[in-house]
Amino acid sequence: MVRKYVRALFPGSFDPITNGHLDVIHRAVVMFDELIVAIGDSPKKEYLFTSEQRLEMAHELLKDMPDVTVHRFTGLTIECARSLNAQVILRGLRNMTDVQYEFQIALTNRSIAGIETVFIMTGEQYGFTSSTLIREVARYGGDVSGLVPPNVCKKLKEKLKDQSF
């Protein structure tokens, strides 16, 4: 039996990309032939970083991984997966709240588009890492250097210096 070439799509806001996201990406590259990190841009969401900035930060971190590419997308994840010929959606899990949230979406995506979602458990040290919390901590001057890579830490400082509260 010949094994199929599997291209996985890892969609998310990545606002900004964190060590938790990178942990999932590093675990995933050994499982799939190709991994596409898909940076969502939804008019309904308020982001700290523009999609170009989120893409640039991710690209900088992943550019030396030959089987990983970074894309920006708008609209439905399943449409993005379809247009990029990804057979699988990848999501990371931190806790039971993530499971509950992801379960319904994964079942819906399978039922309407026939696409499977694969879940990877985060490394224990990243179980509490979220972009939302990182933005909040950084906004109030907290140290997030253990939770995000140095390029992201620098961009967070620059971005928040420009913003008044």
The set of catalytic residues is 21, 45, 94, 131
Q: Which is nearer to ligand ADP, 5 or 26 (CB)?
A: 26
**Binding stretches for ligand ADP (CB under 6 A):** 12-14, 18, 20-21, 23-24, 91-92, 94, 98, 122, 126, 129-131
Q: Which is nearer to ligand ADP, 104 or 164 (CB)?
A: 104
Quote the distance between the C-alpha of residue 127 and its chain's center.
15
Instruction: Give residue number: closest CB to ligand ADP.
Output: 20
Q: Are 90 and 8 a contacting pair, CB within 8 Å?
A: yes
Q: Are 17 and 57 a contacting pair, CB within 8 Å?
A: yes
Quote the distance between the C-alpha of residue 165 and its chain's center.
27
Q: Which is nearer to ligand ADP, 7 or 11 (CB)?
A: 11
Distance in Å, CB of 54 to ligand ADP, minimum: 9
Distance in Å, CB of 163 to ligand ADP, minimum: 20
Pairing relation of β-strands 88-93 and 34-40? unpaired
Distance in Å, CB of 57 to ligand ADP, minimum: 12
| DSSP assignment of 19-50 | HHHHHHHHHHTTT-SEEEEEEE--TTS--SS-
